């Protein structure tokens, strides 16, 4: 078992992972905004007091804040970093209205906001595509070994079988099989297999398995009990890698959606939700394992950031997109009072989630057990 990385490495790794992700996210907003002629007053990485900053020739203040937990672009006409309109845009001087975000058509505002999460997904696709070009892409979905007394053995799966799908989900590679199974411990699934020229169907109940990572942290996962016949990776061209990486990113996003659904429905414990402290710890651990592990995590975090920002929660991009969709249907914007109350509710929900996940993080670090022993 490896020792936990030092605090200094955790902090540096966390900043090196989160900073570029936030930059790409905000750069998406900024570039599409410029494309539509919207002026940007501030481009900030981090919140709070400015550590360093400069003004460009367009009058945009580029700065870095001391709290590296996000960022924002404040466009002309915004009242605050959440892009709330200043009095509905009525107090924007006439000479600035052509470059005001809130005076643009709703479809342009929608695309500007959408560009942030899209930039995170694109970054993940580029990283995964680079891995496929450099190291190769998994291609096999043929079973090589079947573990004794496993779910696969009970379902009658044999070496040489090709796993075509699980519960209707296509599994073109063993990564697809693993990603489907790992988040469904205890669930009964139907597998479609190809054995020679024959198509078979088998039912299996995915086993629950608890594993420990290199640092001794334990995780529950689903286990089918099969391994591929060929673990070699097939190198692909850039033209082939981008579509494959796009599919891989879409499937990873689908996994995240399903995990959130499992937590909401009670199939998974809310204690599995991690917050900033847990993310920082994991980034430090991956950095200590090497650059490839770290960059792989950055790709996953980028998908996470894009997905979370698409949730229809006020203050997040998804909340703004929801209001713009309503505005497009109603042919007029939602009232400022409704938006204000929605933003307050969104802020309260986000703060509550941060507090909850921080408590989870401290619990995973064993803090409460140590306090209990001290008090006892």
H or E segment at 145? Answer: strand 143-146
Task: Judge whether 313 lies within some domain.
Answer: yes
26 among known catalytic residues: yes
Rounded to 5°, angle at Cα 114 from 109 and 116 = 115
How much of the chain, in percent, has pLDDT values that exceed 90?
A: 42
Average pLDDT, the chain: 87
CA distances from 62 to 31, 135, 216, 287, 330 (A): 14, 37, 42, 28, 36
- Arithmetic mean of pLDDT, 223-241: 85
Least Cα distance to 174 among 116, 231, 126, 244 occurs for 231
**Interval 8-57: pLDDT, tens:** 999 999 999 999 999 999 999 999 999 999 999 999 998 888 899 999 98
* Domain end among 232, 253, 274: 232
Q: What pLDDT is stored for residue 69 in this prediction? A: 79
Nearest to 37, CA basis, from 109, 120, 93, 122? 109
Domain end marker among 200, 232, 264? 232
Structural domain includes residue 117? yes
**pLDDT of 186 over the 70 cut:** yes
Q: What is the CATH number of the domain that holds 153?
A: 2.30.42.10
Confidence of residue 112 (pLDDT cuts 50, 70, 90): very high
Q: Residue 73 has what pLDDT?
A: 92
Domain membership of residue 51 (yes or no) is no
The per-residue DSSP string of 173-201 comes to: SHHHHHHHHHT-TT-EEEEEEEETTEEEE
User: Do 317 and 364 have their domain in common?
Assistant: yes
Measured in degrees and rounded to the nearest 5, phi and psi for residue 144 equal: -100, -50
pLDDT at 80: 53
Confidence of residue 367 (pLDDT cuts 50, 70, 90): low
Among 60-74, 75-89, 129-143, 268-282, the minimum mean pLDDT is found in: 75-89
Whether 115 and 180 map to the same domain: the answer is no
Do 150 and 112 lie in one domain? The reply is: no
- Output the pLDDT for position 55: 93
Query: How large is the average pLDDT for residues 131-154?
Result: 88
Say if residue 174 is in the same domain as residue 161.
yes
Catalytic residue chosen out of the listed positions 3, 26, 214, 220: 26
Q: Where are the alpha helices (DSSP H) in 225-335?
A: 238-265, 276-289, 291-309, 317-330
Q: At which of 208, 232, 256 does a domain end? A: 232
As a whole-number percent, the residues of the chain with pLDDT over 70 amount to 92
The reported pLDDT for the residue numbered 361 is 80
Indicate whether 111 belongs to any domain: yes
Q: Is the pTM of this model over 0.85?
A: yes
Do both 217 and 335 map to the same domain?
no
Is 243 within a domain?
Answer: no
> What is the structure's pLDDT at 63?
93
Partnered with residue 155 across adjacent β-strands are none
Whether residue 87 has pLDDT greater than 50 = no
The answer to whether residues 228 and 158 belong to one domain is yes
Q: Which tops the pLDDT comparison, 271 or 113?
A: 113
> Where do runs of H (alpha helix) occur along 266-316?
276-289, 291-309
Note whether 129 and 11 are same-domain residues. yes
Q: Span 166-176, mean pLDDT?
A: 88
Q: What is the pLDDT of residues 292-315, one digit of tens each?
A: 999 999 999 999 999 999 999 888
Instruction: Output the pLDDT for position 20.
Output: 92
Same domain, 120 and 196: no
Q: Give the pLDDT score at 129.
A: 95
pLDDT band at 76; cut points 50, 70, 90: confident
> 182 and 110: one domain?
no
The arithmetic mean of pLDDT across residues 64-72, rounded, is: 86
Report which secondary-structure segment, H or E, holds 362: helix 336-364
Find the mean pLDDT for residues 351-371.
78
Q: 291 in a domain, yes or no? A: no
Residue 278 lies in a domain: no
For 28-39, how does the pLDDT look when each residue is reduced to its tens digit (9 = 90+)? 999 999 999 999
Indicate whether 118 and 173 sit together in one domain.
no
In a domain, 16, yes or no: yes
303 and 200 in one domain? no
Structure tokens at 128: 């995964």
Query: 150 is in which domain, residue-wise?
Result: 138-232
């Amino acid at each position: 078992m490896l020792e936990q990385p030092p605090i200094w490495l955790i902090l540096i790794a966390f900043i090196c992972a989160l900073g570029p992700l936030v930059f790409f996210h905000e750069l998406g907003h900024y570039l599409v905004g410029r494309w539509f002629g919207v002026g940007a007053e501030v481009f900030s990485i981090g919140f709070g007091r400015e550590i360093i900053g400069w003004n460009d020739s367009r009058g945009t203040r580029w700065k870095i804040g001391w709290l590296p937990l996000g960022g924002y672009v404040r466009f002309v006409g915004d009242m605050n970093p959440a892009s709330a309109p200043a009095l509905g845009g009525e107090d924007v001087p006439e000479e600035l209205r052509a470059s005001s975000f809130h005076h643009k058509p709703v479809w342009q505002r929608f695309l500007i906001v959408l560009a942030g999460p899209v930039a995170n997904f694109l970054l993940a696709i580029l990283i995964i595509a680079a891995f496929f070009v450099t190291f190769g892409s998994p291609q096999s979905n043929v079973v090589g070994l079947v573990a004794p007394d496993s779910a696969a053995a009970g379902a009658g799966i044999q070496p040489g079988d090709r796993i075509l799908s699980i519960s209707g989900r296509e599994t073109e590679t063993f990564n697809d099989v693993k990603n489907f199974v790992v988040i469904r411990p205890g669930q009964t699934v139907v597998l479609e297999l190809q054995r020679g020229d024959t198509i078979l169907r088998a039912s299996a109940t995915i086993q629950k398995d608890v594993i420990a990572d290199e640092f001794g942290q334990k995780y529950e996962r689903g286990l089918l009990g099969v391994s591929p016949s060929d673990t070699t990776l097939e190198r692909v061209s850039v033209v082939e890698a981008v579509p494959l990486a796009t599919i891989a990113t879409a499937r990873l996003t689908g996994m995240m959606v399903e995990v959130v659904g499992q937590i909401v429905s009670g199939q998974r414990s809310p204690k599995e939700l991690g917050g900033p402290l847990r993310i920082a710890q994991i980034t430090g651990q991956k950095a200590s394992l090497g650059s490839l592990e770290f960059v792989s995590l950055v790709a996953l975090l980028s998908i996470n950031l894009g997905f979370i920002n698409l949730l229809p929660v006020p203050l997040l991009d998804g909340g703004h997109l929801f209001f713009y969709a309503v505005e497009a249907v109603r042919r007029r914007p939602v009232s400022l009072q409704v938006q204000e109350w929605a933003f307050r509710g969104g802020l309260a929900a986000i703060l509550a989630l941060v507090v909850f996940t921080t408590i989870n993080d401290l619990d995973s670090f064993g803090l409460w057990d140590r306090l209990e022993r001290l008090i006892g």
